[in-house]
């Protein structure tokens, strides 16, 4: 149960910190942190969350990561469903907290999408569904390669959270204009539940593409990182 609670709170922290920055600080008048700030926020939530909870649960905080680690031979299949449930609940709980805060502003509106991920007309840069799908698959795949590589027994010990956090920052720098960056189904669903409408209609992509990418990344690392 401690492992599942760690995944719940780690995912809660990721969505609260990352999406919260996007909602409240990205475009704040005269003090907006912009895309760079949002990218750093997501990276910092993973970095700090991994140091806080990684020794308890492994610090996945992402259903795609759990599935990718399973595909990479680093995680037991019997733990997959409980981990994913904990992560999804953590993401939704964070979305609820963000919604409670946001509705405290008289000018709040869900018209902006509530930090949801989208494609086509709901992509920040109006990228096609195909472009968004490719972006999420490839970036999640590389995320898994970095995770598997930095946590390999041959890698320098203790530095994995830094590499993983910086990788997620880089991923956001690339893909915020494309999909608003998911690479994490729990992050996507956590806010889409409250945004409703198109966000829920399009959330399927931000489950399918990251999971596919994670499995492909695991396969790549099993080939490239295999011990001689």
pLDDT tens digits, 79-105: 999 999 999 999 999 999 999 999 999
Q: Which residue blocks in the chain are alpha helix, DSSP H? A: 2-24, 34-57, 63-71, 80-102, 129-150, 160-179, 185-195, 197-202, 205-224
Q: Please work out, in degrees rounded to the nearest 5, the angle formed at the alpha carbon of residue 148 by the alpha carbons of 5 and 4.
A: 10
Domain boundaries, the chain: 2-224
Q: What is the pLDDT of residues 166-225, one digit of tens each?
A: 999 999 999 999 999 999 999 999 999 999 999 999 999 999 999 999 999 999 999 987
**What whole-number percentage of the chain has pLDDT above 70?**
98
Q: Which residue blocks in 151-196 are alpha helix, DSSP H? A: 160-179, 185-195
Residue with tokens 């912009």: 34
| 2-224: CATH architecture | Up-down Bundle (1.20)
- The pTM of this model reads 0.94
Looking at every residue in the chain, the average pLDDT score rounds to 94
Burial environment of residue 55 by CB neighbours within 10 A (0 to 12, 13 to 18, 19 or more): exposed
User: Cβ contacts of residue 97 below 8 Å, gap of 6+?
Assistant: 16
């Amino acid at each position: 149960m401690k492992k599942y609670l760690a995944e719940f709170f780690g995912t809660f922290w990721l969505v609260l910190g990352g999406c919260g920055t996007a909602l409240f600080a990205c475009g704040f008048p005269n003090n907006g942190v912009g895309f760079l700030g949002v990218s750093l926020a997501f990276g910092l939530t993973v970095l700090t969350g991994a140091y806080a909870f990684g020794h308890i649960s492994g610090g996945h905080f992402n259903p795609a990561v759990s599935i990718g680690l399973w595909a990479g031979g680093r995680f037991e299949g019997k733990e997959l469903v409980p981990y994913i449930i904990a992560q999804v609940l953590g993401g939704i709980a964070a979305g609820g907290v963000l919604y409670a805060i946001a509705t405290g502003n008289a000018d709040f509106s869900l018209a902006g999408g509530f930090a949801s991920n989208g494609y086509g007309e709901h992509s920040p840069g109006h990228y096609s569904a195909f472009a968004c799908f490719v972006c999420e698959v490839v970036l999640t795949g590389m995320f898994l390669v970095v995770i598997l590589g930095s946590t390999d027994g041959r890698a320098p010990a203790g530095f994995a959270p830094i590499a993983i956090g910086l990788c997620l920052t880089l991923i956001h720098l690339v893909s915020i204009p494309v999909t608003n960056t998911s690479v994490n189904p729990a992050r996507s669903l956590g806010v889409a539940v409250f945004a409703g409408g198109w966000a829920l209609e399009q959330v399927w992509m931000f489950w399918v593409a990251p999971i596919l990418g994670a499995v492909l990344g695991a396969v790549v690392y099993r080939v490239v990182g295999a011990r001689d």
